[in-house]
Amino acid sequence: MADEVILLDYWPSPFGARARIALREKGVEFETREENLRDKSPLLLQMNPIHKKIPVLIHNGKPVCESMNVVQYIDEVWSDRNPILPSDPYQRAQARFWVDFVDTKLFEPADKLWQTKGEEQETAKKDYIEALKILESELGDKPYFGGDTFGFVDIAMTGYYSWFEASEKLGNFSIEPECPILMASAKRCLQRESVVKSLHDSEKILELAYQLRKIYCV
């Protein structure tokens, strides 16, 4: 009997993008159910009653929540193809460390870039670039955070890469002069087939970002 794989998602979400990319890296067929985050479906509330957030992967009726937990689950269940996490325990631990860094140090300033203005936005911009520079230092001269292969940290970052253009325009700054090596890796990631099929047009994301900015910065 074939697996039933359903993804509760929201198209511009960098976190939903992680699950989409991981599934496509593994070649897993799945059904997407788009959520309205202002009017969440009974299924989302049933499958993620604690956080009530997307993405939720429903595999044969069982829910898996939190984006990188979902990615790791996908890697473990479909372990016969395209490994996402390294096999070496130390390298796996390092990958998890850097994903935690991404979600604790990059998420908040990334949000504030389009939610704030003035001095608060300038502080967010500084914190955002500082976090990106630390990540660039970890990347070094490797094509991907996973070395020669697109892996766990790359998937975590690619959701943010999809918002780079919107962040730059709303924050009135440029990432590439500050982090040229990271940007080169970002462009490499954005060209992958799994990523191209999983992300929406940057202009559509920018349009949404301007709409959100009007709501948050009256």
| Res. 1 pLDDT band, cuts 50 70 90 | low
Amino acid at 52: K
In Å, how far are 32, 115, 189 from 145, measured between CA atoms?
Answer: 28, 29, 10
Q: For residue 212, what pLDDT is reported?
A: 81
Q: Taking residues 3-27, what's their average pLDDT?
A: 97
pTM of the entire structure? 0.94
Q: For residue 202, what pLDDT is reported?
A: 84
Question: CA–CA separation, 61 vs 12, rounded Å?
Answer: 25
**Residues of the chain above pLDDT 90, percent:** 85
In Å, how far are 132, 148, 181, 187, 199 from 190, measured between CA atoms?
Answer: 17, 16, 14, 5, 9
Q: For residue 209, what pLDDT is reported?
A: 84
Q: Taking residues 9-34, what's their average pLDDT?
A: 97
Question: CA–CA separation, 178 vs 167, rounded Å?
Answer: 14
- Give the closest residue to 98 by CA, choosing from 59, 56, 68, 60: 68
| Residue 200: how many other CB atoms lie within 10 Å | 12
